């Protein structure tokens, strides 16, 4: 929620982005 401290929000955002990148790189549909 909006009360999430900024440091955790940034960590979370980075974690989710990296996770998406990892998934794309292992996907059989990735170019």
Partner 1 sequence: PTSSSASTSIVNDFNQDTLQQRLQGLIDTARESWTYAIFWQSSIDDYSGHSVLGWGDGYYKGEVNKPKTTQSAASLAEQQYRKRVLRELNSMISGTPAPENDAVDEEVTDTEWFFLISMTQSFANGNGLPGQAAFNNQPVWLAGSDRLLASHCERARQGQGFGLQTIVCIPSADGVIELGSTELILQNSDVMKKVRVSFDFNNGGDM
Contact set with partner 1 (CB under 8 A): 1, 4-16, 18-19, 22-23
**Smallest distance from partner 1 to CB 31, Å:** 17
For residues 24 and 30, the answer to whether their CB atoms sit within 8 Å is: yes
Tell me how far, at minimum, the Cβ of 27 lies from partner 1, in Å.
9
CB of 29 to partner 1, least distance (A): 10
For partner 1, the closer CB: 18 or 31: 18
Q: How far is the C-alpha of 29 from the C-alpha of 23, rounded, in Å? A: 10
Q: How many angstroms separate the CA atoms of 31 and 26, rounded? A: 10
């Amino acid at each position: 929620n909006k009360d999430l401290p900024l440091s955790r929000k940034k960590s979370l955002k980075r974690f989710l982005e990296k996770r998406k990148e990892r998934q794309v790189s292992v996907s059989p549909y990735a170019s």
